[in-house]
Chains A and B, each alone.
Chain A
Amino acid sequence: MRSSSRYGLRAHHLAVFVSALFSVWACGINEGGPEDPGEPTLSWTNPGSSAASFPSGQGGRYGFGSPASVTDIAVWDIDISPNGAGLPSGGSTVTEGLKVYQKKCMACHGPTGTEGPFDVLAGRVPGDEFQFAEDRSLRSTVGSYWPFATTLFDYTRRAMPFDFPGSLSDEEVYGVVGAMLFLNDLLPEDAVVDSATVAEIIMPARDRFIPDDRTGGPIIR
């Protein structure tokens, strides 16, 4: 019950969009940069210093630090990518998520995610208009402003709830993410929430973001 065109789950659009977006950014950001990142411009190196020719041993390395094992990395490697990489197995339901939400989130974000007192999380604009530049009073809710649902999973798991950060189980996080998507009219109330749901859902604001076009010089952007 997690796949429904009514709720904008269009997986095949994801890869095309993301790769297009990233290639645009890559062009902008690499402009004027070193041609080959493997031969970086070490702008910290002082003229005449020996740093450029040092070190001589250890295969060109200093040899400081110790190898990080797969186990070491797993302890801290908690990020979720927009393509869903990093999402854990398992899942939950909107119904279960609403119970967690009421218990652990509602005090700060309100019964339906719209009341505060802290960040307003729920709410859509009619027609999913994106008039944040025109109207300063608009709140950047999950449904109106967040481009990726993976961000919601990532942030909720790493930093929420505010008084007990990082305390939610993966199952609870899936549930809360589902509840949040439900409260933003992006999932039905009887939906299952798992890695595919989070990775594939197309958020209303997904195509609203563009690379920074400020470049310095006389033009104000």
Chain B
Amino acid sequence: MRKDGKKIPDASKGDGEAPPNELRTVSRRALITGAAATAGSVMTVGAARGLGIEQSSLDPTRVPGERPVEVGSRSPFETPEKQLSGSAGGSSRTPHHELHGILTPADLHFERHHHGIPQIDPTQYRLLIHGMVDRPTLFTLDDLKRFPQVARLHFIECSGNGGAGSRTDANPRMSPQAMDGLLSTSEWSGVALATLFEEVGAHSDATWFLAEGSDAAVMSRSIPMEKAWDDAMIAYGQNGEAIRPEQGYPARLFLPGWEGNTSVKWVRRLELSDRPFMSREETSKYSDPILGGKARLFSFVMDAKSLITYPVYPDRLTSSGFVEISGYAWTGRGVIDRVEISTDGGSTWADAVLQEPVLPKCTTRFRYAWDWDGRPAHLMSRAIDETGYIQPTLEQITDVRGPGTRYHYNSIRGWRVNSNGSVEFQPPA
């Protein structure tokens, strides 16, 4: 049994039954392990093995290694999983505390759907561009792939991300996955939307376009044309492969730095207009009440935010001394200028090291060498972006937006390290 209580396959039983689909990906290595266990003493060095390695463990130098496989899989000892959340529409969260670097493996990329994942035959896919254009045009997927390709690394974050961490009564036993799992980073490949809008002859007086998906919600958002001329793209590639179905296969709109909902997945239609369309998702949802009896519409840009991914709940520090505090920072307004770390609950701050590459509208990995004295500590990170914006506290946000603010929860997160090494979520006081 794994630590999480899930059954792993025991191929040594050899009962001839095909493993269920969910177990097939780990069956090859499990087969070797199982065979070794059966062979027992032949495969191990014996009691004098040393090195602190358990006597019963397999000596990989005494058995032939595995053959190449058509499609690789993770080590069966590595079991990162998305955490499922939400109700009808469904969402899943990226396990930040189990990842390295900045890229999110495509199968661990967060999901937020408004009516499930559609299955789309790429030969039947069409992108329609019409409205205020000279030439209303239908593009097949092959058509899209013939245009000059662009590729960039970018984060995408749901603007509802972090809601659970922004409550004053937040559960202290929350991992960064549970709290801020609706954030992921990929290399996105596709065609610049500007290229397509040039191709169809976008009218110069078109100021907005509607982006519409072919999911069961026929999700739609109004986007200012300025974003198309800037850095918007129709993406069909993610981390080197075709976009996954849950990320919009075969093609999606991608708007770097903007709230995830605007990057309409499974995009089928773009209609150019001289005004926004006021869809349900941009009025009754994804608008931000603020003090004074108002609400912000079209709050597109994701402001600077940072997240410690180690040490966090459920980590447990085993000894005092060197601890590398690590995490990522990102901003929808450009590049991260610096990240500051506090280990004393925000009384003092010091610069973290930013790991290259530091890219615009992309997560940046930061590191900070901490000498833990074994006493209780309160860790925090705050991001400062190229505009001079400093990631605020929850109090700063609610002072101007009120406690009812519903999206864009980018306040400083905090982690309390107890003297026994356990770590719990604790926002700044």
Contact = CB atoms under 8 A, between A and B. Distances in A.
B225 A37 contact: yes
Interface in B69-110: 87-88
Given A67-B136, A158-B217, A217-B387, A133 B283 contact: no
Contact of A43 (B114, B212, B231, B301): B231
A17 interface: no
B330 to A, nearest CB: 14
Contacts of B202: 37
Contact of B138 (A62, A72, A142): A72
Interface stretch (A2-10, A148-156, A178-186, A194-202): A148-156
B340 interface: no
A220 B394 CA distance: 11
A211 interface: yes
Interface string B379-403: 0000001011110100011001111
Given A79-B210, A130-B293, A162-B115, A218 B388 contact: yes
Contacts of B216: 159, 165-166
Contacts of B278: 81-82, 147-148, 150-151
Q: Which 6 A-B pairs have the closest CB atoms?
A: A133-B402, A216-B387, A132-B289, A40-B229, A38-B204, A155-B280
Interface size range of chain B in the complex? 35 or more
Interface size range of chain A in the complex? 35 or more
Given A42-B195, A77-B271, A151-B283, 17 more contacts: A37-B206, A42-B194, A42-B229, A64-B199, A65-B199, A67-B137, A77-B130, A82-B277, A132-B289, A133-B289, A159-B114, A209-B294, A210-B297, A212-B301, A214-B299, A216-B385, A220-B392
Contact of B291 (A37, A118, A134): A134
A202 B2 CA distance: 59
Contacts of A65: 137-140, 143, 199-200
Contacts of A25: 276, 297-298
B37 interface: no
B300 interface: yes
Interface in A6-61: 18, 22, 25-26, 29-30, 33-34, 36-38, 40-44, 51, 54, 61
Most B-side CB within 10 Å, residue of A132, A133, A211: A133
Contact of B404 (A43, A66, A133): A133
B218 A78 contact: yes
Given A65-B139, A133-B405, A208 B295 contact: yes
Interface string B98-129: 00000000000000001100000000000011
A62 B403 contact: no
Interface stretch (B57-65, B145-153, B240-248, B306-314): B145-153
B230 A81 contact: no
B164 to A, nearest CB: 13
A62 B268 contact: no
B299 A26 contact: no
A210 B392 contact: no
Contacts of B396: 220
Given A68-B138, A145-B284, A162-B88, A138 B275 contact: no
Contacts of B276: 22, 25
A51 B148 contact: yes
Contacts of A165: 115, 216-218
Interface string B339-366: 0000000000000000000000000000
A95 B317 CA distance: 65
Contacts of B147: 62, 64
B204 A36 contact: yes
A210 B296 contact: yes
B55 interface: no
Contacts of B284: 140, 142, 145-146, 151
A53 B240 CA distance: 28
Interface in A122-142: 129-136, 138, 140, 142
A64 B289 contact: no
B44 interface: no
B177 interface: no
A60 to B, nearest CB: 8
Interface string B270-294: 0101011111100110010111111
A154 B210 CA distance: 13
A138 B232 CA distance: 35
A147 B296 CA distance: 12
B9 interface: no
Contacts of B138: 65-68, 72
Nearest to A50: B148
A80 B129 CA distance: 17
Interface in B404-419: 404-406
Nearest to A72: B138
B25 interface: no
A209 B287 contact: yes
A79 B209 CA distance: 12
B184 interface: no
30 contacts: A22-B275, A30-B226, A36-B204, A51-B148, A62-B199, A64-B139, A67-B136, A72-B128, A72-B136, A72-B138, A73-B128, A79-B210, A130-B293, A131-B404, A133-B290, A133-B404, A146-B284, A150-B278, A151-B280, A159-B216, A159-B218, A159-B280, A209-B296, A209-B297, A211-B297, A212-B297, A212-B301, A214-B301, A217-B387, A220-B392
Contacts of B114: 159
Contacts of A136: 403-404
B295 A210 contact: yes
A103 interface: no
A64 B127 CA distance: 12
A217 B137 contact: no
A131 B143 contact: no
B214 to A, nearest CB: 9
A213 B280 contact: no
